[in-house]
Amino acid sequence: MHRTLPVLLLALVPALASAQATDASRALAQDAVIVDTHIDAPGMLMDGWMDLGEEAEGREFDYPKAHAGGLDVAFMSIYTSPKQDEDDSAWQVANEMIDSVEALAQRHPDKFALLLSPKDVDSLRKGDRVLLPLGMENGAPIGDDLSNVQFFFDRGVRYITLAHSAANAIADSSYAIERKWHGLSPFGKQVVAEMNRLGIMVDVSHLSDESAAAAIELSTVPVIASHSAFRHFTPDFERNISDELAKAIADGGGVVQIPFGTAFVNPESAADTQAHFRAINDFNKRNAELKAAGKPLESRAAFNKAWEEAHPPRQTRIDAVLDQVDYAVKLIGIDHVGIGSDFDGVGGELPDELRTVADFPNFVAGLQARGYKDEDIRKILGGNLLRTWAAIEAGAGGAAAAP
């Protein structure tokens, strides 16, 4: 047993070294354009207001942290839930979230600016401003009205995740057991065409394989996965992207943006997440049966408490994220990989060395330790996403969506 101890210590050295920011990694993080395509700060603002222009305790994104980490472009997630889709409040909630981002930029014009086009990145980020484009997570606010695609484009939305954790009027979710559309709905096909026309990025994260494949095939411009890890590491977890779909995105000129949340990059956590959605599905079915029988319903609070006690968070190291990058680069090439952290969206369940947006230098250090050249790190940090976004914008203005 004593002979194995030095070997174990040596095995830990690369992981420990890769977790530590260096002068070189900090310098590159500050100089490169870092684009994070998924930060859930607007949802956190709805839950409890804080001024994100100042240090915000307990939040993973705010201006001081972003400035320290070198973050330049932070896509603000305009997330709405399946429940809000069902009760027709998604449109209202989405607009309130957009208002909150606008208010943040207006309150701190020296720290933030809204971003509508990749062409404006260099000019707007001068003066150390953090740029705030909008990404709509779940197309539910569109409802069944195609004109809402234009409406939200005019409000600044530059990508739309077609569905989230349940089917909507557009597409199926990877989390749902039952599939409604087996691809895109007829309306969903119109939505994708309209997004192409306007220059809104089509985002296939969260979609079922059938829906993602249909969106990729239909789109006339590149598509993105705004925050999708690779299913190679989590074989039974459809939420993570398959090799086939990732290759299809890359073949079309798009990018796969890798998240940091342990639910996606840690296989055990991914299994817990998948089991959680199945358990919720069973819970909802039981309550529907109880309601139909006129019996008392089970408590969702009690269900949540029991689940959390039985499934505590799992410790994860930064290497789980770096392994995702390595795999992606080998599978689809260095030009088709980026980052979509999911900061403020995973309940703090993140790798030890990637706790907030201030920690991007740790990520850069990890890539440098694994032998990535600085020019390739710049691509992963944001160059690939900006190139793809520019191509989508250049492809806009084609024929209107079919009626």
Separation CA 281–CA 213 (nearest Å): 25
Q: Is residue 401 part of a domain?
A: no
pLDDT at 19: 65
175 and 301 fall within a common domain: no
Tokens of 38: 């998924």
| Residue that is last in its domain, among 254, 280, 313 | 313
Is the pLDDT assigned to residue 246 strictly greater than 60? Answer: yes
Tokens of 39: 């930060």
Q: Is residue 11 part of a domain?
A: no
Separation CA 189–CA 69 (nearest Å): 39
Q: Is residue 334 part of a domain?
A: yes
Is the pLDDT assigned to residue 402 strictly greater than 60? Answer: no
Q: DSSP for 347-360, please give it.
A: TT---TT-SSGGGH
3-state secondary structure of 42: helix
Contacts of 88 (CB under 8 A, 6+ apart): 143
CATH number for 193: 3.20.20.140
321 and 216 fall within a common domain: yes
308 and 362 fall within a common domain: no
161 and 203 fall within a common domain: yes
pLDDT at 78: 98
Separation CA 66–CA 12 (nearest Å): 29
| Residue that is last in its domain, among 253, 280, 313 | 313
From residue 18, alpha-carbon distances to 260, 317, 352 in Å are 15, 10, 12
238 and 356 fall within a common domain: yes
- Pick the more confident residue, 274 or 38: 38
155 and 290 fall within a common domain: no
Q: How far apart are the first and last CA of the chain?
A: 72
349 and 202 fall within a common domain: yes
Separation CA 273–CA 262 (nearest Å): 10
Q: DSSP for 129-164, please give it.
A: PEEE-EEEESSGGGTT-THHHHHHHHTTEEEEES--
Number of domains in the chain: 2
238 and 251 fall within a common domain: yes
pLDDT at 282: 85
Tokens of 95: 């607009």
| Residue that is last in its domain, among 313, 336, 370 | 313
Residue 273 domain boundaries: 267-313
pLDDT at 18: 53
* Angle at CA of residue 22, ends 17 and 28, nearest 5°: 125
Give the mean pLDDT of the chain: 92
Q: Is residue 400 part of a domain?
A: no
Give the relative orientation of helices 186-198 and 209-218 as an angle to the nearest 10 degrees.
Answer: 50
255 and 284 fall within a common domain: no
Mean pLDDT of 313-319: 89
Q: Is residue 229 part of a domain?
A: yes
Give the relative orientation of helices 209-218 and 243-251 as an angle to the nearest 10 degrees.
Answer: 10
324 and 294 fall within a common domain: no
Q: Is residue 5 part of a domain?
A: no
Q: Is residue 352 part of a domain?
A: yes
pLDDT at 15: 44
pLDDT at 110: 97
- In tens, the pLDDT along 107-131 reads 999 999 999 999 999 999 999 999 9
CA atoms lying within 13 Å on the CB side of residue 88? 2
* Helices (H), ranges, 108-242: 121-124, 147-154, 186-198, 209-218
Q: Which of 9-23, 29-43, 62-76 has the lowest mean pLDDT?
A: 9-23
Separation CA 206–CA 137 (nearest Å): 9
Q: Which of 327, 322, 339, 329 is nearest to 376 (CA)?
A: 329
Mean pLDDT of 147-163: 98
Separation CA 261–CA 242 (nearest Å): 18
Q: Is residue 16 part of a domain?
A: no
What is the DSSP pairing of strand 34-39 with strand 224-225? unpaired
251 and 298 fall within a common domain: no
174 and 309 fall within a common domain: no
**Could you tell me if 76 and 134 are in contact, meaning their C-beta atoms sit under 8 angstroms apart?**
yes
pLDDT at 270: 78
pLDDT at 362: 98
